[in-house]
Amino acid sequence: MRIDLHTHSDVSDGTAPPASVVRDAAAAGLDVVALTDHDTTQGWAEAEQAAREVGIDLVRGLEISCTHQGRGLHLLAYLPDPTHPGLRDLLGRIVEGRSGRVPAMLAQLREAGVAIEQADLDREGSRTAATGRPHVADALVRLGVVASRDEAFRDWLDAGRPGFVDRWAASVTEMVQVVGEAGGVTVVAHPWGRGGRSALPEEEIAVLAAAGLAGIEVDHQDHTEADRARLREVAADLDLVVTGSSDHHGTGKVDHDLGCHTTDPEEYERLLARASAASAASGRDTPEVVQPR
Ligand SMILES: [Zn+2]
Ligand SMILES: [Zn+2]
C-alpha cells in the first residue's frame, strides 16, 4: 500500500488541476493520495470525482500558512469540517493577507529594477484562491530573471530579499486547536525544511503535541537523513504519527514526484484513528476518506 499525504494542484501553487493530480497519483501506483492545497478546500470536489473515476483513496486536506514565534510554518490539516466558522474565518484572513501583499511586492521589485505587472499575475493565478508569492516567482521565471521558482524565492522573495513583504498568518498553536474543533487532525509539514532545526525546536514540537498536534511530516525532500532520524525519535517520544509525502507541485517544483516519499500504512491507520476521534469529539459533519474500491 503506497500512501502520499501531501500534494498541490493549480487551485494553489501546483501546475495541474485537482483531477489530474488524482489521476496521476493513481497512474503512479499510489493507493492513497491527499490533496493539500494552500489554505483552501476549493479543489476537494473535483478531486473527489476523479478519485471515484480512477479508484484511488482520497484524503481531503489542506496546508495552512501559519506563524510560530515570527517564523512561517506550514501545517497540514486532514479531514476537518470546512464549514466550521472559526476555521473559515482564519483561512479567509490568510487568503486576504496573501493577495493584499502582492502590490507591495511588485512595488519593491520595481524599485529593484524588475517590472512585473499585476495583469501578468492574474493570468498565472486564474484558478487560485489568491495570487501570492509562487505566482510572482513564476513571473520572474517567465521574464528570464531567474531559472526556477526555487531561485526566485532564494534571490528575490524570501525574508531579507528585495521582494519580501511580511503578511498576516495564524498562530500555529491556535490553528492546531481550531482544526481539532473542526473535527480534523494536524501534521506539521516539513518542520526542519528550509529553516533548519531552529525553525521549530524540539521543545516547541512538544508544545504543539500538547495542543493537539497529531503528527510530524518526517520523510520530505527538504529533510536530511540525520534530521529524519531525529524527528522519528521526537515523534516516538511524543506519541506523534510519522508521515512521508512528495509535496508534489506538478512541474512547479523539481524532485517532488508523486510518491517519491510515502507514509507507512500503520502510521496512516494511526492518523485515521486520530481523525475519527477528533470527528466524534467535535460533533461535526466531517468529510470521510473517499474509498471508491
Ligand atoms: Zn509547505
Ligand atoms: Zn506543500
Supply angle C-alpha 218, 220, 226, rounded to 5.
60
Q: What is the pTM of this model?
A: 0.89
What residue has cell string 529533510?
223
C-alpha of residue 135 to centroid of ligand 2, in Å: 15
Q: What is the mean pLDDT of each run of 10 residues along the chain (293 residues)?
A: 97 94 98 97 98 98 92 95 97 88 92 88 63 88 92 93 88 97 98 89 96 98 96 98 97 89 98 98 97 93
C-alpha of residue 190 to centroid of ligand 1, in Å: 7
Q: Which residues of 188-211 are buried (b: 16+ CB within 10 A; e: fewer)?
A: bbbbbbeeeeebbeeebbeebbee
**Structure confidence at residue 124 (pLDDT):** 60
**Structure confidence at residue 84 (pLDDT):** 98
Between strands 170-171 and 241-244, the pairing is: unpaired
Which ligand minimizes its atom distance to the CA of 189?
1
**Structure confidence at residue 25 (pLDDT):** 98
Which ligand minimizes its atom distance to the CA of 195?
1
DSSP 286: P
C-alpha of residue 236 to centroid of ligand 1, in Å: 23
C-alpha of residue 260 to centroid of ligand 1, in Å: 16
C-alpha of residue 273 to centroid of ligand 1, in Å: 24
Question: How many CB atoms sit inside 10 A of residue 37's CB?
Answer: 25
C-alpha of residue 8 to centroid of ligand 2, in Å: 6
Q: Is 75 helix (H, G, I), strand (E, B) or coil?
A: strand
C-alpha of residue 194 to centroid of ligand 1, in Å: 10
C-alpha of residue 149 to centroid of ligand 2, in Å: 14
C-alpha of residue 75 to centroid of ligand 2, in Å: 9
Q: What would you measure as the largest C-alpha separation in the chain, in angstroms?
A: 55
C-alpha of residue 92 to centroid of ligand 1, in Å: 18
Q: Is 118 helix (H, G, I), strand (E, B) or coil?
A: helix
**Structure confidence at residue 180 (pLDDT):** 98
Query: Can you tell me the distance from the alpha carbon of 212 to that of 240, in angstroms, rounded to the nearest whole number?
Result: 10
Q: Which DSSP string do the residues of 201-260 spell out, in sequence order? A: -HHHHHHHHHHT--EEEEE-TTS-HHHHHHHHHHHHHHT-EEEE---BBTBTSTT--TTS
